[in-house]
A and B are shown apart, each in its own frame.
Chain A
Amino acid sequence: MKKLLNLKIFSIIILLSTATLISMVIIQGCEKNESMRGTEFAKLTYAPDVPSPIMRDHPTKVIVNLETKQVVGRLADGVEYPFWTFGGKVPGKFIRIKVGDLVEFHLHNSPTSTMPHNIDMHAVTGPGGGAPVSETLPGHSSVFSFRAERAGLFIYHCATQPVPLHIANGMYGLILVEPKDGLDPVDKEFYVMQSEFYTKDDYGTPGLQQFSMEKALAENPTYVVFNGSVGSLTNSNALQARVGDKIRMFVGNIGPNKISSFHIIGEIFDKVYDYGGKDVTQRNVQTVLIPAGGAVIVEFTVKVPGTYLLVDHSIFRAFNKGAIGMLKVSGEPNKEIFSGKQKDEIFTGSQAELNGGAIENDDSNVIVNNESTSEMNENDINSVIEKGKKVFSRTCIACHQANGKGLPGIFPPLEKSEFLNADKERAIGIVLNGKKGAVTVNGQIFNNVMPPQNLSDGEVAAVLTYVYHSFDNSKKVVKTNEVTKIRNK
């Protein structure tokens, strides 16, 4: 009995002390929420992926491993470039940490490198952003530590001599320092990095390219790209989302020379963290400026399905130098927000004046022949071609380009086009009714949309005759009545 009592008392004491211990731990945990605890290895991702949000509510010691490597890789279709990289690809891997974290950074320089590399992180408070202390010879590793003092989205890059060459060859990436309470949850996060490449030969010249000192000094890039190469975010590489998704993009611009005017065609940024700083500074923004060596965070919700183009709105860069990407949104259409095409009808200046600006027409969508082409003598092939060239220059040139080569991965070529030459009636149909979805042209897959063209039958006949007689095509002749026949089908 006495033994039993003793046991009881003993177990009560144990219970009490355990409870006290637990409550002490809890109280300590609450009071010292900000104190550093634990160690973890950072999981880094290649663009366009972003590491998962950080769920812990306290700073920790984060070990980051990153390897500098010199690799030959794809800059555009058929074009290669000797890249210098953080992690084997351009841009470098995305690093995600939290404010207050103590980062133990391990920079490894591959034994196959031919020169030293280092890392200058704009998230670091300290000389050179860590560059001098991380200078690392081939086949060596350097370790240094820094406290993430400020939340925000920051660039990192190599700063070994000569710094501009290390940057121009691909050595950059982004590091996100999450604020204390993290970022609001979203459905999708993407990593997009704009940069320039200065190559000896012109845009698209096939083969292994080399750095051009002359173009770099003149700040005249051959390529301006997202995520390291032309087409890294188009067609099958497009970013994917569903209608209703809230999207956050971490967008960096390293330059090395140009400022980016980042825009997504058909979207409005609901929130903008200007310069990648901690706070939302703007709402409802169309285009954001990203300085060279800077970044921005944008958030928006996609409501209408379709393809949205990411561009640098310094638009020649998007059109001619590669600064174009795609966000493909799938889901149900929302006619309340965007109707799609409701009408397609003839507009002539004179009619507009007569009707006070508005044209009344029936809903049949039938386009009547325009007298300007019906007057043309169809037997005079040269005048048909001349007429067709005019139509081409104002209607087709924007996408298919003056030389008929199109844009690799985006707009199919008309030059020596097997697709075009194979079927005249199909070609007429596409000009009249447009074309949607995947198509293979000269061995390349294109997945885009061509809208129906607002042209008269005579104009369609002329422009197709022009195209068939240009760009090494099969010299077919398209007559107006052939077009009318297909339109009336």
Chain B
Amino acid sequence: MKFFLTILITSFTLLANAQNHENAKASITKMVLIKGGYYKPLFKKNGQSEREFVNSFYIDIHAVTNEQFLRFVKANPDWSRSKVKKIFADGSYLKDWQSDFNPGENVNPSAPVTYVSWFAAKAYCSWAGKRLPTMAEWELVAMAGKNSPGPNKDKKFNERLIRWYSAGLPQRLNKVMSGEKNYWGAYDMFGLIREWTFDFNTTNINGTAICGGGSAGATDLTNYPAFLRYGFNSCLSANSDLGNLGFRCAKDTK
């Protein structure tokens, strides 16, 4: 089984390589296959069952880096800091970069790009021949432990997440893949940055925004990391740019 999986991943990687070869300027991030499965959203949508089935998909093993994003900006100058349209990015877009096409020395090229809006993240993914993962997909990957697809119910895991979410913004972000690799082979789902998802703002369900709201209707009242994530996501606008918010891309299996 594992062997089969490896073959599949390898062949896909080759495929992805081939596809992206057309655009020589896109640097390729390795992807891993995430096998479809059930995930339990913190807030269930009207008429939906508690568990939601997520189809198989591929996801980048790490977040998009400054170096990768620079290639994108160079190929698409409309997304450079001075050219970007205000409706697509607020005043903080790429604010830690030195200039339009130079991240400068304060930024680690191998660290995840941050201060990027949802619009920019979406544009990058489609330029790379990919798409943003849905929140359900992202959560399915993130709930894996080190040795199992999860959900990781280790109390210590929860505590570690709360500790990380509680910590302040670091002076300089670490490079990607310096953190933990989970069961699927995806790195840094926690501990480095928060990540955009395609439907980040759909937590405003049943007409009630969780942003500043209560816990009524939540499926797991003690899952504070999930509350922190949902609370954070639902306060974002698609043109928000934050120092601890980046993204990685996903792709359909077909």
Contact = CB atoms under 8 A, between A and B. Distances in A.
Contacts of B165: 114-115
A212 B211 CA distance: 24
A165 B159 CA distance: 12
A399 B105 CA distance: 57
Contacts of B243: 111-112, 138-139
Given A112-B243, A160-B211, 10 more contacts: A70-B168, A82-B166, A120-B212, A131-B212, A135-B212, A137-B235, A139-B92, A160-B212, A161-B234, A165-B224
Given A132-B211, A135-B211, A137-B235, A211 B242 contact: no
A420 B242 CA distance: 57
The A interface is mostly helix, strand or loop, or mixed, namely loop
A202 interface: no
A14 interface: no
Interface string A82-94: 1010000000000
A116 B222 contact: no
A141 to B, nearest CB: 12
Given A161-B230, A162-B228, A211 B168 contact: no
Contact of A211 (B92, B163, B230): B163
Contacts of B163: 210-211
A135 B168 CA distance: 19
Interface of B: 92, 155, 158-159, 162-163, 165-169, 209-215, 222, 224, 227-228, 230-232, 234-236, 240, 242-244
Given A82-B167, A213-B162, A135 B235 contact: yes
Contacts of B155: 213-214
Interface residues of A, number: 35
A280 interface: no
A257 B54 CA distance: 39
A169 B167 CA distance: 11
Contacts of A161: 210-213, 215, 227-228, 230-231, 234
B174 to A, nearest CB: 15
Most B Cβ at <10 Å: residue of A84, A134, A163? A163
A115 B211 CA distance: 12
Contacts of A352: none
A213 B158 contact: yes
A82 B236 CA distance: 24
Contact of B224 (A134, A135, A162): A162
A114 B114 CA distance: 12
A60 interface: no
A217 interface: yes
Contacts of B211: 116, 132, 135, 160-161
A82 B170 CA distance: 13
A282 to B, nearest CB: 34
Nearest to B231: A161
Interface in A222-257: none
Given A137-B242, A214-B155, A217-B222, A132 B212 contact: yes
B156 to A, nearest CB: 11
A70 B165 CA distance: 11
A244 B167 CA distance: 47
A128 B228 contact: no
A159 interface: yes
Interface in A21-74: 70-72
A200 interface: yes
14 contacts: A71-B168, A72-B168, A82-B166, A112-B243, A114-B167, A116-B232, A135-B212, A139-B92, A160-B211, A161-B230, A162-B227, A165-B166, A200-B159, A210-B163
A118 B212 contact: yes
A177 to B, nearest CB: 22
A82 B232 CA distance: 19
Nearest to A120: B212
A165 B162 contact: yes
B168 A82 contact: yes
A401 interface: no
B166 A169 contact: yes
A82 B166 CA distance: 7
Contacts of B162: 165, 210-211, 213
Closest 4 CB pairs of A and B: A161-B231, A162-B227, A132-B212, A116-B235
Nearest to A165: B224
Contact of B169 (A113, A128, A134, A163): A113
Contacts of B224: 162, 165, 213
B236 A115 contact: no
